[in-house]
Amino acid sequence: MVYNELITKTKPSFYNRFCEFKNRFRIVLRTKWSISIICFLLLALAAIMFAFNIFYKKETSFLLDDKNEIVFDEADNPILVTKYFRAWSDITKTSESLRIYLFSPIAKILVSISIPIAGYAIQITTQNKLSSPSTLGYVPASILAYICTLAINPTNFYLTYVFGFIFSSFVILIKLVLQHTDSTNNKFKPVLIGFAISALISTIGVLISILKPNLVNASVIWTGELANAFEWEKLYVSAPLILACTLVFFILSPKLKIMQKDFILAKTLGINTKAVYWTVAVTTAILCISTITISSPVFLLGLIIPNIVKVFFDRHDPLFVFCVCIIFSLALNQTSLFISINHNFSTNLLIAIIAFVVLLFMMRKRT
């Protein structure tokens, strides 16, 4: 009896100490200095990983002397030398080597500065934390466009933009038909509609992969690992579109800030919430098409990064979330690219693991 009473007395004190520590940690984490330090460290990580993605290459070879003959040790065994970095001259040796080593890291930068921003803008306009370019059907539509291009004419990458605009317009049109009132209507469930559209698009993609097995692998539908040819022309077309769309989101950030707080207040202040809603939808569709053309899609990137930023720092201002999302995404994408290149670990699998943890936390917090 005394032992049980002792336990009941000690448990609350430990729990209270833990809660007190957690609260203090949250307060410290959300100060300007902590946010600045975290962002600086993530930017440093992104820069280091960017350099590693370009220069890192583990290569073991025989040690050669001045006459290009193998050098042996005292036991008459050839001496092996391991190099971990390639020289800049090897990268710039030919236009092809320059394209191979620089294209993917640059493409990941463009993905990082655009998709998470689009994800948070969608979450504001749909008033749903689970909204993202993937869950609303824009990424599957873009993948289907890429697959159709591979099946019809792989050399003409411009078809990806054409098919992408057609399929994305189809997705937007379905939502426009189903949404009879404004975007604040509780009966309108854009995420559920997006899942249904994604399932339909995935089914079509599987059928195409069955009909054209030599050109399209069925696993692309589920893994998103596209056989992307590195062509500077793709970057020349996609980069301006991505930068322009990203600029649109930053221009909309003052209106999104008011909408994030209260839709009714936004309407009272004269903000056309419908126009903002559809502008975000169209801009997101263009972003998805442009990023798919230059890089394999990173599913749920637009879902987890904004939620991580909001949970960590408890700030919901769009401009703040946009900027920090870019920093988080740069570090994550460059790191995942390095892991993918050197250890054959799928980027989407890494994102899925992080998304699982984030979604669990969101569900726990909601309950």
Q: Where are the domains of the chain?
A: 102-366
Rounded to whole angstroms, the Cα distance separating 167 from 153 reads: 17
Residue 131 has pLDDT above 90, yes or no: no
For 129-177, the DSSP string reads TT--TTTTTHHHHHHHHHHHHHHH-TT-THHHHHHHHHHHHHHHHHHHH
Q: Report pLDDT for 40.
A: 95
Rounded to whole angstroms, the Cα distance separating 348 from 288 reads: 16
Task: Provide φ and ψ at 72, rounded to 5°.
Answer: -110, 155
Angle value at C-alpha 277, between 292 and 290, nearest 5 degrees: 15
Q: Which residues pair with 62 in a beta bridge?
A: 80
pTM: 0.81
Determine the residue type at 128: N
Half-sphere exposure of 171 (CA within 13 A, CB side): 37
Q: What is the pLDDT of residues 180-229, one digit of tens each?
A: 544 445 555 655 666 666 666 666 666 666 666 665 555 555 555 555 66
Distances in whole angstroms, Cα of residue 317 to Cα of each of 69, 121, 256, 320, 346: 64, 11, 9, 5, 32
Q: Report pLDDT for 183.
A: 46
- For residue 289, the SS3 value is helix
Do 80 and 101 form a contact (C-beta atoms < 8 A)? no
Number of CB atoms found within 10 A of residue 349's CB: 13
Q: What is the pLDDT of residues 316-363, one digit of tens each?
A: 899 999 999 999 999 998 998 888 888 777 676 777 777 777 767 666
Average pLDDT across the chain, whole number = 79
Paired tokens of 132: 């993202």
User: Which is the CATH superfamily of the domain at 102-366?
Assistant: ABC transporter involved in vitamin B12 uptake, BtuC (1.10.3470.10)
Determine the residue type at 320: F
Q: Report pLDDT for 124.
A: 92
Share above pLDDT 70 across residues of the chain, in percent, rounded to a whole number: 77
Q: What is the pLDDT of residues 244-277, one digit of tens each?
A: 999 999 999 999 999 988 888 888 888 888 899 8
